[in-house]
Amino acid sequence: TSAQKGGYPFFMLKEIYEQPDAIRNTIAPRINQELPDFTEDGIDDAIFKDCKRISIVACGTAMHAGMVGKHLIEKKLRIPVHVDCASEFRYKDPIIDEETLTIVLSQSGETIDTLEALKLAKNRGSKVLSIVNVKGSTIARESDYVLYTHAGPEIAVASTKAYTVQVAAMYLIACRIGLVKGLITEHDAKRFMTKLTNASNIVEETLKCADDIKRVADHIKFATDTFYIGRGLDYTMSLEAALKLKEISYVHAEAYAAGELKHGTIALISENVPVIALATQEDVYAKVISNIREVKARGAYVVLVSMDEEVNDPSICDQHIRLPKMDSEFTSFATAVVLQLVAYYTSEAKGLDVDKPRNLAKSVTVE
Ligand code: G6P
């Protein structure tokens, strides 16, 4: 009913706007003296101390949250992380053992492939920590340890707030692992946590771009094919961006590592093909800009997502979504809001049932 939607036309939009609170509710209870602390969750630090490798298993959007975790853990802590979708993990004789920590992500806690992957990991002697939104769900019960996300119920089939809190949980875990293993100092961990705490404010700020994003959607709704490009963390975010757009607007979207385009599908970029370029990573910013020039030269319609106050050379993009200034390591939260709103407004502009996309289920409990 419309009352349940709190005045929003769809649950998805309501849930997008619930993210600042959801993130706050997930992070705040795990901060003790400015440091990440899972004592209340009953998570034994030994699983972090003893692990040599990390294996992340999940499906769909939850897997993309895991990929943000991989990026972060490998970059900051130099611990190897492998991410698999659960349906592949189960049947490939995965390389895991007692020294591997398995992290499972699931909003519902009921996804059958993820549950079976979890059991397999346990059988191989790996400790399993799950990040789950639904209390008491099967995955939560089967895991050695659970870090509950506090997104509250998510009704729209396309996951939004449950994703950003999974991402937040990955940041918390990365920081805790770093501390327990002595890979980061308390001082650095505190600075990291200050920035993480600010993620909810960043989401609030980014939500103010909604009108600009609507204009992007008004262009994309006519497209048959679109591209999301980016490097590093932005490439990881592109994967989720493309998935979300496809899921609810039925516009085909492809995520490409910006530098890889010329080794593959750049021939598909022609006049007016929308290319959404994520350029939030300082270390590769100039590289992404030069990739944008490559697609622009082929006539692409470019939407630039960056922290630039203004774009120095307006010929590189047709629209600009300007994110608030922040550390490159934490842009995932802002980018998530942009990609969710692009998908949402495109679906809405096409007159689709945003909350119930065809052929998709909220949670897949049968094989
Ligand atoms: C389904 C949903 C996706 C979701 C995936 C994993 O396919 O349509 O949106 O990401 O399942 O769900 P889970 O509940 O395990 O996070």
Residue of 4, 16, 38 lying closest to 203 (CA atoms): 16
Write out pLDDT tens, residues 73-92: 999 999 999 999 999 999 99
Could you tell me if 280 and 233 are in contact, meaning their C-beta atoms sit under 8 angstroms apart?
Answer: yes
The yes-or-no verdict on residue 313 having pLDDT over 90 is: no
What is the atom index within ligand 1 of the atom nearest the CA of 61? 10
Q: What angle do CA 232, 331, 183 make, to 5 degrees?
A: 70
**Which pLDDT band holds residue 311 (cuts at 50, 70, 90)?**
confident
Residue nearest to atom 5 of ligand 1 (CA): 60
Does 140 score more than 70 pLDDT? yes
Q: What pLDDT band is residue 1 in, cutting at 50, 70 and 90? A: low
- Residue labelled with tokens 């059988």: 123
Mean pLDDT of all residues belonging to the chain: 96
Prediction pTM value: 0.97
Q: For residue 366, what pLDDT band results from cuts at 50, 70 and 90?
A: confident
- Tell me the H-state helices in the chain: 11-17, 19-27, 46-49, 60-77, 86-89, 112-123, 138-142, 161-180, 186-197, 199-207, 210-220, 233-249, 285-296, 332-349
By residue count, the chain amounts to 367
Reading the block at residue 233, the tokens are: 């963390």
pLDDT digits (tens, 9 = 90+) for 27-77: 999 999 999 999 999 999 999 999 999 999 999 999 999 999 999 999 999
Nearest 10 degrees: Cα torsion 265, 212, 63, 176: 130
CA–CA distance, 328 with 234 (Å, rounded to integer)? 10
Q: Does residue 3 have a pLDDT over 80?
A: no
Q: What is the spatial order of strands in the sheet that 100-106 belongs to? A: 81-85, 53-58, 100-106, 127-132, 145-148
CB 157 near ligand 1, within 6 Å: yes
Residue scoring higher pLDDT (315 or 205): 205
357 Cα to the center of ligand 1, angstroms: 13
Per DSSP, 306 falls in state E
pLDDT digits (tens, 9 = 90+) for 95-137: 999 999 999 999 999 999 999 999 999 999 999 999 999 999 9
Q: Is 122 an annotated catalytic residue?
A: no
Nearest protein CA to atom 8 of ligand 1, as residue:
362
Question: How far apart are the CA of 124 and the centre of ligand 1, in A?
Answer: 25
In degrees, rounded to 5, the angle at the alpha carbon of residue 185 between the alpha carbons of residues 182 and 189 is 110
* Ligand 1 probe mutation, 59, 170, 247, most atoms within 8 A of CB: 59
**Residues 273, 225 contacting (CB under 8 angstroms):** yes
* Residue, of 333 and 266, whose pLDDT is higher: 333
Does the beta carbon of 107 lie inside 6 Å of ligand 1? Answer: yes
HSE-up of residue 324 (Cα within 13 Å, Cβ side): 18
Mean pLDDT of 314-323: 94
Q: Bigger pLDDT: 367 or 114?
A: 114
First to last CA, the chain: 31
User: Does residue 134 have its Cβ closer than 6 Å to ligand 1?
Assistant: no
For the chain, give the percent of residues with pLDDT over 90: 92
Q: Is the pLDDT of residue 158 over 70?
A: yes
